[in-house]
Amino acid sequence: MFSRPPPATLALLAANIGVFLLQMVTGDAVVEHFALWPTGTPLFTPWQLVTYAFLHDTHTLAHIFFNMFALFMFAPQLELLWGSRRFMVYYFVCVLCAGLAQLAVTSLTGTLYPTLGASGAVFGVLLAFALFFPQQRIAIYGVIPMPAWLFVTLYGVLELVLGVTNTQAGVAHFAHLGGMLGGALLIFFWRAQGSTRRQF
C-alpha cells in the first residue's frame, strides 16, 4: 500500500489537482491569465513564471496524471531527506528555471503559444532523486528495472534530442531541461556550502 506523502508533497499534489478541477470549470479563463505566455505577447505577466506550473492540459488526463504520479513517487524521499521547507525551495527553483528556459526558447523561435504544467519541476525532482538515491531501482512500465541514475541520464538525453530535433511539437522539452539544470545548480550550491541534508 502507498503511504501518505509528507506535507509539502501532499500540498503540491492537492494544489495541482485543485487547480486542474478549477480549469475544468472555468475553461480557458485560467490559462489566459496564469499560463506562461511568451514575453512578446501582451498576455505575459511576471507571476506566470510560478503559476504556469499548477496548470495542466484539460483535454487529456495523461498530462496531470504522469506529473502527479512522478511527484508522488519521487518527491517524498527528497522531502524526508531535506525537510519540507528546503524541498519547497528546491521545487520552486526548478519551476522558475524551467519557466525561464521556456521563455528563452519561445523568444528565439517566435512561439506565441502558452506553456503550462509541472513537468519542469518534476524533472528537477527526478534529477535530485537520481543524485541522492542513484542505485534505487526504477521499473520503466513495470518491466525494465534500472538504477535511478541511468534512468534520469537517459531521460535527460532523450529530452535534449527531442528538443534539438523539434520532435513532439507542443512539448516543452527545454523547459524540462531547464528544471533539471536549475535543480542541479542549486544542489551544487548546497554542496559547496556543505549543506545537502535536512536543515529546517
Half-sphere exposure of 102 (CA within 13 A, CB side): 34
Please state the domain count of the chain. Answer: 1
In whole angstroms, what is the distance from residue 47 CA to residue 50 CA? Answer: 6
Nearest Cα to Cα of residue 93 among 53, 152, 134, 40: 53
pLDDT digits 0-9 by tens, 180-190: 999 999 999 99
Confidence of residue 2 (pLDDT cuts 50, 70, 90): low
77, part of any domain: yes
> What backbone phi and psi angles, to 5 degrees, belong to 147?
-65, 150
Q: Which domain holds residue 68?
A: 7-192
Q: What average pLDDT does the structure give for the chain?
A: 86
Q: pLDDT value at position 136?
A: 84
In whole angstroms, what is the distance from residue 106 CA to residue 141 CA? Answer: 32
83, part of any domain: yes
In whole angstroms, what is the distance from residue 8 CA to residue 13 CA? Answer: 9
2, part of any domain: no
Q: Is the pLDDT of residue 20 over 70?
A: yes
17, part of any domain: yes
pLDDT digits 0-9 by tens, 104-154: 988 888 888 899 999 999 999 999 999 999 988 876 655 677 887 787 787
Percent of the chain surpassing pLDDT 90: 55
55, part of any domain: yes
**Domain harbouring 162, CATH code:** 1.20.1540.10
**Strand, coil or helix: what is 115?**
strand
50, part of any domain: yes
